[in-house]
Amino acid sequence: MKHKILELYSGIGGMHCAWKDSGLEGDIVAAIDINTVANEVYRENFPDTYLITKNIQSLTVSEINKLEVDTILMSPPCQPFTRNGKYLDDSDPRTNSFLYIISILKELVNIENILMENVKGFECSTVRNLFIDKLKECNFDYQEFLLCPSQIGVPNSRLRYYCLGRRKSSKWHYERKEEIISEPPFEATSLFPLRDILEKTVLEVYYLNDKVLKWGKVLDICYKDSRRSCCFTKAYSHYVDGTGSVFTEMSPEFVKNCYSEANKFDIGSDEYIAKLKELKLRFFTPKEVLAIMMFPKDYVIPDGTTMKQSYRLIGNSVNVKVITELLKVLFM
């Protein structure tokens, strides 16, 4: 069967990349996002896809049904379910568009399959309960997951909630479980080293300046042979603590010795910063972060997109490989 897919909250097209990578039969017939910068990136990579720039709440039941799509892929705003978003849950206006989709799901007569991604924490929310209740009401089988890319061979920590939904009118061969699954239902590959994704030439702008180096104590440092990295968020390069790893060509031993020397000085002092400069620490480039997020090698960020915009867009996206494998489970 050749599926017709609607990509909601399409962002820079991580779901689209996963669909193409899955090898499943079908096309993304329409994508919608309100972010104009994200849409410019999406259009650069998927020029033939019908891309709608407007609020999802203005997308009517009639418009969706006319598209004759049988599948929805979506990654609704995650901020209402995060610490930085103050865990406002359904009280956060950023949930309104997803609540709207939940409210009209019963009227979307052609929808047989759903894949939804969000942050860890969503599984404890009121919005999650409303979503699951609606899937049951609309006669969907569903399976919830909490999965990390590192479980399937990707050297990155990005624990996320996923939900697969399949209407019971179409047989699903996956044997679902009532609980949220934390082990991937597909075979994992070995973690690859970060050297595999590094660019050969990196501009000076990506190297850590004095303002960043004074916070050297909280940096998560990766090396060529590292088979791990921290979750990259939309604040990467703007804030240091908890937004993603940094990289050095130096050896772990050299780094250890350098920090030992630097710690003889007051943290953040000129002497401390001067010592850490020897490490030549830098941010991973947007292209490298895309590779860690398993976007295809031919994926591009258009010229004119600033460094800050690039990191924000990528940090808001999905890990392509995890979505790819879950799509295969959904359509098995």
- The region, left, alpha or beta by phi > 0 then psi within -120 to 50, assigned to residue 281 is beta
Buried b (16+ CB within 10 A) or exposed e, 71-98: bbbbbbbbbbbbeebeeebbebeebebb
Which class for 332: exposed (0-12), middle (13-18), buried (19 or more C-beta within 10 A)?
A: exposed
The closest of 55, 165, 159 to 114, measured between CA atoms, is 165
Which structure tokens are listed for 259? 């920090």
CB 229 within 8 A of CB 156: yes
Helix (H, G, I), strand (E, B) or coil at 82: coil
CB 71 within 8 A of CB 111: yes
**Sheet-wide strand order for 71-74:** 50-52, 26-32, 3-8, 71-74, 113-119, 160-167, 140-147
Is 148 a catalytic site residue? no
Among 78, 163, 222, 231, which one carries the catalytic annotation?
A: 78
Name the H helices within 56-198: 61-67, 96-104, 126-137
Catalytically active residues are 78
